Structure 1
């Protein structure tokens, strides 16, 4: 019987593993199919993590985390959790290699992944000019022109954020209208260095060995092609929440989710099910930052220790 099963090995899961084992839990297992570290390991430059004064890669930032956690007894199972089933006051953890674990408590920390738009060059230049995080990467384009792709709240909010540091922001959207709050749209309309490029489809992002040099779009009405000269392209077309382990055999979910599939939690990261917590990007209103995910993991772990007594 596990004291705690942690599903996911990113900053939230690792920090929960550190705090729970150092806090006295003896049988804690983190389920992570690959190398622990999370999505941030794919980032080429990080300079906003507290205490790290040097610019570093995401891989470098996360390199020491697993070792530190395992020093206090965290175990790592290289398996993918398929399903979590509540059985009275405990939980069954079913993995992709047909193993079954039983746990007194569970922390979901599987996160979410940005949805790809699917245009040519998006994968090739991801991390070299194509980004899905303005807070993470916007600073690198200070005083330069950037493009933001999307028409929802996130895209418009990030375009407005980038407009404060970039010389110009092209807001690229496939429709004439936005699916965003009226107040957010008003901010966009009033910001002089945001150019709306609407009713277009993105043909490709292009560049060279140094990274992105421009974005090619096509007018949906006339077919006219336009090149936007920008070294930075930010894609905000939604996120896929990695909540599959919570899905039950009848199609329902183990705990309450938002309309977009994020796990509903309180300030202690508790879900609607006793004994089940969620932390990091999988939860509602997550800031999608490493430091915030780590804080979630610590918050959940402290509460789980108290819960297990």
Structure 2
């Protein structure tokens, strides 16, 4: 039984089982191995890089993460714009298929977190949660991006007690209740429409007077009788005991405040790149995204490549992440070939 109190009963994520991380794991005794490539992160970028490097005979070691294996798509409902799925596909199902494909070709998948990296030298080191250091000639960074938070004082208090960042994980628990979603892009629109399956009503809170979402998603939101849009509004406070019961909204035009009663809030206000482990080593943009060389995935350090939402502050789509994962794998293969080429 899952220890996650918000696990949806009967939901099969299709991820199979990863190499266990324990003292008995044979993996923990392979710290002397020099890997051709280590991939840090999963999701469309990491798994695609794993497929390509594994097919290339490089036996990649992939750190998927102990909790977030599969990346942000694990929190996504229907993915309707990924080629090859005319009827759409659930995010967890798509990630499960990618993961299975990578494993089939020989990728070594490990459900563990990376706690440190030393990428400066010719030989790269990646440290896992048990403190074991793993060496590699090349490293592909695919850590993705985390959900951006509202950063208001009460947010942490209600995290897991009414505030969520995953509609597919937690929507079930709000059956028949009034809830809210904050955001104005496709993710927020998708969360709002998905949550109408469970909730009595959904209030979509957006700080502007029009949504940034695609036309089809805007139409679905505006035409859904269960969804009300709170235009020109931002959340300034939360209240309730012991769980969330109401939100205080401030009008971004007039400054007036009002309170709405909700049992839950789902946040979909963008992403923040997970680049903290490589800050000070590879070059980052002002927004914290890893910089790459032109159309390649080469970072400022030789032998280190980056892909997916970790480098993309514009598109942030599953298909573009997968594409950069492919490019990172090919760039890494080319780098390794150059290392072994006879200089004469």
TM-score computed with the length of structure 2 as normaliser: 0.64
Distance 1:160 1:234 in 2: 18
Q: Decide whether the 8 Å contact of 1:46 with 1:58 is kept in 2.
A: yes
Distance 2:131 2:193 in 1: 47
1:173-184 matches, cutoff 5 A: none
Q: Which moved more, 1:64-73 or 1:102-111?
A: 64-73
Give the equivalent residue in structure 1 for 2:97: 64
Count matched residues: 266
Distance 1:156 1:7 in 2: 37
Match of 2:277 among 242, 245, 267: 245
Q: CA deviation at 1:166?
A: 4.6
Match of 1:158 among 212, 217, 242: 212
Q: Decide whether the 8 Å contact of 2:183 with 2:204 is kept in 1.
A: no
Give the equivalent residue in structure 1 for 2:181: 130
1:6-85 matches, cutoff 5 A: 6-25=39-58, 27-34=59-66, 36-85=69-118
Q: CA deviation at 1:5?
A: 0.6
SS of equivalent to 2:288: coil
Distance 1:78 1:20 in 2: 19
Distance 1:82 1:22 in 2: 28
Distance 1:61 1:227 in 2: 36
Q: In angstroms, what is the RMSD of aligned CA positions?
A: 3.8
Distance 2:107 2:126 in 1: 17
Give the equivalent residue in structure 2 for 1:209: none
Distance 1:277 1:95 in 2: 19
Q: Taking structure 1 as reference, are residues 156 and 90 closer, same or farther at Cα in structure 2, changes over 3 Å only?
A: farther
Give the equivalent residue in structure 2 for 1:308: 336
Distance 1:272 1:124 in 2: 33
Q: Taking structure 1 as reference, are residues 38 and 160 closer, same or farther at Cα in structure 2, changes over 3 Å only?
A: closer
Match of 1:276 among 304, 308, 315: 304
Give the equivalent residue in structure 2 for 1:285: 313
What is the CA deviation profile of residues 276-300 of structure 1, one whole-angstrom value per residue up to 9, with x for unaligned ones?
1111111143522211111110011
Q: CA deviation at 1:244?
A: 2.6
1:210-225 matches, cutoff 5 A: 216-219=247-250, 224-225=257-258
Give the equivalent residue in structure 1 for 2:204: 147
Q: Decide whether the 8 Å contact of 2:120 with 2:281 is kept in 1.
A: no
Q: CA deviation at 1:82?
A: 1.6
Structure 1 spans left out of the alignment, 5+ residues = 173-194, 205-214, 248-252
Q: CA deviation at 1:165?
A: 6.1
Q: CA deviation at 1:28?
A: 1.3
Q: CA deviation at 1:256?
A: 0.5
Give the equivalent residue in structure 1 for 2:176: none
Distance 1:84 1:63 in 2: 27
SS of equivalent to 2:305: strand
Q: Taking structure 1 as reference, are residues 57 and 97 closer, same or farther at Cα in structure 2, changes over 3 Å only?
A: same
1:246-261 matches, cutoff 5 A: 246-247=278-279, 253-261=280-288
Q: Decide whether the 8 Å contact of 2:165 with 2:266 is kept in 1.
A: no
SS of equivalent to 1:2: strand
Q: CA deviation at 1:78?
A: 2.8
Q: Which moved more, 1:1-10 or 1:111-120?
A: 111-120
Q: CA deviation at 1:24?
A: 3.0
Q: Decide whether the 8 Å contact of 2:166 with 2:266 is kept in 1.
A: no
Distance 1:283 1:83 in 2: 19
Distance 1:133 1:70 in 2: 37
Structure 2 spans left out of the alignment, 5+ residues = 1-33, 172-179, 195-200, 240-245, 338-344
